[in-house]
Structures are given as structure tokens and as C-alpha cells.
Amino acid sequence: MTSAANRPLVIGIDIGTSGARAVAMDADFDIAASGASRLADFSADHRDPVIWWQAVQTALGQVLGAIDRTRVRAIAIDGTSGTVLPVGPNGAPLAAPMMYNDPVEDADILARISTHAPKESAVHGATSGLAKALVFQSTPGVFRIIHQADWLAGHFTGLYDVSDENNALKTGYDPVSRRWPDWIAATGARLDLLPDVLPAGAPIAGISQEAASAFGLADDVVIVAGTTDGCASFLATGAGQPGDAVSALGTTLTVKMLSDRPLFAPEYGLYSHRIGDMWLAGGASNTGGVVLSAHFDNERIAALSAEIDPATDTGLDYYPLIKDGERFPVNDPAMKPRMTPRPQSDAEFLKAIFEGIAGVEALAYQRLVSLGSPALGSIRTVGGGAKNAVWTAIRNRKISIAFLPVASEEAAAGTARLALTGAKAAGVL
């Protein structure tokens, strides 16, 4: 039996909006080391790919400094969904990247996409990867238009023409037929500039000699196709079976569930990422922590929560919003907040908000099931709201299902799980 100190390891790397994180993980999903760095430590320009790479090198260096590098078998990387850049044959960026939230303002490009893209495609909207690809394809000397995670993975393989099915989704990739669909050409997009696409978790190639030497790694380390930061965060929790769900209680409420079939409902902003033989579907509501913070600060929420009995119900039927409009599980841009009557007691008011958000969460999962998902089997919770035991008890009362612990909230841990999949597929683990 291999001792823990000698077990093979894989590395997952996450590049986000503020920095990079890396973890080393063994086949039992135990994390052996972690590292982190901030983009701001290198530059104030978070769009500079050179800074991305410096942050990744720093986080990875911290991990490698804490482990025996000969144990590393595979590496995978996730990036922000919809961040796109044009590159030359050697991977050199040819223009400033367009980040995940950068809009394309060319009305003609957006009109062409709207005309030719199926309604269920994730390319609709000014921030889609396809819209950005149409902007970048006229860049002089362009070899490929790729995503953030693709570019960083290329530093380990020397290949800058490979992507994964999750990052490619917003650029128009069809995860059902597993190819770039013919309608993309009708928008005027050059298909020859789009990357080859592999399933998330599939081996891309062995590490390049240059990268192996730079990081002191064995030359048989496998580089594995990664994913988006959102998918990586889901995988990090340990959810892995159809019906497993993750609720993110952050500024807004987001729910995601693994399904055995793809779900597409553009009217709710709902589409599906392909992960292995399953599909990750979800939606985002406008309710969430933003409503709580509009009325109470964190200290006050903690104090009032101590006064709440989560086993009883206020009888108030709130739909907590801070302004008109909801997108999921109700698609109604004119929907009004429902937060009256307000009890005299602040604790009772907070309890009613907790109940209201829990009710929206329950409705969200009912909506997924109505759209064809499996029955809800379990919920794991991430985000700041997960730490409030009273709110958790209220949610559990509203949604009578198993609430399971989270394995990790680190997106890099989810990407490491993909690296494990790729390492096994490549026969190096």
C-alpha cells in the first residue's frame, strides 16, 4: 500500500478575476498543498495575459515548493467563462483580451448572431465569446481565437489551438452534437480560427520539455482539458451524481444541478455544460445576500439570527428583491419585490427574508425538475450564507432534502478533480 507521502498527485489551477490559486490533490481527493497569488501584486491591468501567467507561476510555485515534484502526474486549468483573446502560432497575444464581462458594442455583429444562432445557444448577448471572436478575427496575423484557460494550458503544452467543451460553450460550441455547428459560419465567423475542442477532463498532451524543465516536473506529466471557473467551483464541492445540487448563497442566489440530460431554457438564462456523461444546469435569481445587506450589516444579521427560532414559520410570503425584475426561477422583468407587511421586530423581519429566499430556492429546484432535470437528491451550499446555521435550518425546513457538507469551495480543487480524470484516462495514475 502506497503511503500518503508517496501517493501520486495532480494539480488544479484556477485563474479568476482577482488572482490565481493552485492545489495539489491525491486520488482520494485529499489536498496536499495549496498556493495563491493576486493579480494586483503584478499589475493593475487585470486584462494583461502576462499578468495571468505570472500569477499562475507564483501559485503553482508555492504548491510545488511544498510537495515532492516527482509525484505530480497531471495538471488542469480553469478560467473565467467568456474571456477570449486572439493569438499567433506561438501563442503570443495579438490584442488585449476581452474579459468575461466586456460587451461587444458592434450592433451588426450582435444582429448576425441573433439572426442565425438557435435560441437555446449560449452565444446570445453582448458578452458572448462568439461576439468577441467576430471582433478579433480581423486581427492581423491571427492564428486562433482562444479562451483564457486555453492560453494558459498552452504554456504547458506549446499548443494554442485546443479548448474544452465548457469554455467553448459561449463561443457557440454545441455540446450535444459535440462540434462547432454549421450556423456559426452564417454569422460571418471564421471556423478555421476556432480551437479544437476536447471534453473537460480529457488529456490534451504531455507537458512540453520547456515547461517540464521550468517547473522541475517529470516529462510524462499530462496536461488535461480544464473548464470554466463556475463549473470548477461546482465540482470542488464533491457533487458528482445526477440530482446532486449546489446552492450558492452569495450576493445573488444561484442554483446548479447535475442532470443526466441537457437542459436549455433561454427564457430563464438556463443552459447546460457537459461534464463527463452528465450535464450541469443552473440558473441565477436576483434575490440573495444583496437583499439582506440592503437592510442589515453582517454583525446585525448575526445578532438577530440568535433571536430566531428556525423551526417555526412567520406566515409571511416574501419574494425578496431590491428592485423590480426577476430572471429565474420566474422570468418577469417587471416583477415587484414582495416584502410586506414588515413586522415590528427586526428579527422577525430577517426571518421572513430568510424564509422568502429559501422559498425562491425551493421554487428554483422545482423549475429545474419541471424542465427535465432529475429529482433533487441533495444540496451542498457555498457562499457567505452557508455559514448561517439559522438560515440553513430554515432552508432545510422549506426544502426537505439531504444537506451535505462541501468538500471544498476552491475552484482549483474542482479543476484538480478533472486532472485526476485525465490522469486516469492517460494511464499515468
**pLDDT given at position 2:** 55
C-alpha cell at 77: 486549468
What digits encode the pLDDT tens for the residues 30-60? 999 999 999 999 998 989 999 999 999 999 9
Grade residue 367 by pLDDT with cuts at 50, 70 and 90. very high
H or E stretch covering 34:
strand 31-38
The mean pLDDT value for 159-177 works out to 97
296 and 201, same structural domain?
no
**Segments forming the whole domain that contains residue 85:** 4-231+411-426
256 and 201, same structural domain?
no
What digits encode the pLDDT tens for the residues 229-260? 999 999 999 999 999 999 999 999 999 999 99
Neighbour-count burial of 317, counting CB atoms closer than 10 A to its CB (0-12 exposed, 13-18 middle, 19+ buried): exposed
- Give yes or no for residue 341 having a pLDDT over 50: yes
- Over pLDDT 90: what percentage of the chain? 96
227 and 258, same structural domain?
no
**pLDDT given at position 422:** 98
**pLDDT given at position 17:** 86
**pLDDT given at position 1:** 47
279 and 180, same structural domain?
no
The mean pLDDT value for 372-382 works out to 97
220 and 71, same structural domain?
yes
Residues β-bridged to residue 404: 380
Structural domains of the chain, count? 2
348 and 257, same structural domain?
yes
224 and 283, same structural domain?
no
**pLDDT given at position 296:** 97
255 and 223, same structural domain?
no
157 and 268, same structural domain?
no
Q: How far apart are CA 261 and CA 334, in angstroms?
A: 31
| CATH code of the domain covering residue 70 | 3.30.420.40
Q: How far apart are the first and last CA of the chain?
A: 15
What DSSP state is assigned to residue 102?
P
8 Å CB contact between 377 and 402? yes
C-alpha cell at 233: 467551483
pTM confidence score: 0.94
142: left (phi over 0), alpha (psi -120 to 50) or beta: beta
400 and 416, same structural domain?
no
Q: Give the strand pairing for 222-228 and 72-79.
A: parallel
The mean pLDDT value for 68-73 works out to 97
What are phi and psi for residue 83, nearest 5 degrees? -90, 125
296 and 222, same structural domain?
no
Q: Give the strand pairing for 244-249 and 222-228.
A: unpaired
C-alpha cell at 294: 440592503
138 and 164, same structural domain?
yes
